[in-house]
A = this chain, B = another copy of it.
Amino acid sequence: MTETLDVPARTNRDKDGVAAVGRALALVAAFDERNPRLTLAELAKRTGFYKSTILRLSVSLERAGFLARDPDGAFRVGAAALKAGQLYQAAFRLGDVALPILRKLAADTGETASLYVREGDMRVCLHRVESAQMVRAIVREGDRRPLDRGAAGKVLRLDQAASELAENGFLVSIGEVSAESAAIAAPVYGADARIVAAISASGPAQRFTPVAIPAMGAHAKAAAAELTTRLGGRFPV
């Protein structure tokens, strides 16, 4: 430390940020599902900071609502974190993320690809990319369909992974919405591992043969998995 500075002494000037901020956020990151409440001493042990440092940082964190304190003195994460987490989700204008995935699914299957979300006892098409084929399924954004018909409806109605879904990762429906149509759908999961949307490929029933279905299902499943991860979602165990 006293001499021989091969490295420029000011090397830490760039890309270093603000040390106090890093420390404060490390405090928040010290919590986990097993320990959503921590005492000052526990925080000190987990972070390696001095207790006086933690107390000083916690004043600002508490004021901003990112940290809170129980009457017994225990620390826990504050309510502002909940709000910030939702802002993270809101930052995904779903279309920007979903549309490329839908385009790929439409190309891979040759069918119309669409993204459905649940709305009460109906499902609503949020985005859609139509097939290029002469005979194809026509779906428009905003279309509302009953939840009890069609592959996407079935997927959105699942509280937990049904046996058929768990087996293949997708569901099929033939002639449910209309006699000559068919569809295949896979679930998109949110951060809480619950189904938040369904990605489907739909078209004329004639093309949904026992031979074609497995490949279509695999594509739908892959698209749904891609969207799930892009949204920060978590797959159920």
> Which chain A residues have a beta carbon within 8 Å of chain B's beta carbons?
15-22, 24-26, 28-29, 31-33, 36-37, 56-61, 63-66, 68, 76-91, 93, 119-122, 124, 126, 132-134, 140-144, 191, 232
Q: Which residues of B contact A20 (CB under 8 A)?
A: 18, 20-21
User: Nearest Cβ in chain B — how far from A96, in angstroms?
Assistant: 10
21 contacts between A and B (CB under 8 A): A17-B57, A19-B60, A20-B20, A24-B25, A25-B61, A28-B84, A29-B84, A33-B90, A37-B91, A65-B119, A68-B119, A76-B88, A77-B91, A78-B88, A81-B85, A82-B85, A83-B142, A84-B85, A85-B85, A86-B141, A120-B134
User: In the complex, A133 Cα to B120 Cα: how many Å?
Assistant: 7
Partner of A81, one of B68, B88, B132, B134: B88
Q: Which residues of B contact A36 (CB under 8 A)?
A: 87-88, 90-91, 93
User: In the complex, A36 Cα to B84 Cα: how many Å?
Assistant: 10
CB–CB B191/A80 < 8 A: no
User: In the complex, A151 Cα to B142 Cα: how many Å?
Assistant: 33
- Copies of this protein, total: 2
Q: Which residues of B contact A191 (CB under 8 A)?
A: 82, 86
CB–CB A87/B24 < 8 A: no
Q: Which residues of B contact A122 (CB under 8 A)?
A: 79
Partner of A60, one of B17, B126, B132: B17
User: Nearest Cβ in chain B — how far from A90, in angstroms?
Assistant: 4
User: Nearest Cβ in chain B — how far from A98, in angstroms?
Assistant: 13
Q: Which residues of B contact A82 (CB under 8 A)?
A: 85, 88-89, 124, 126, 141-142, 191, 232
Q: Which residues of B contact A24 (CB under 8 A)?
A: 18, 21, 24-25
User: In the complex, A31 Cα to B87 Cα: how many Å?
Assistant: 7
Q: For residue A74, which residue of chain B has the nearest CB?
A: B91
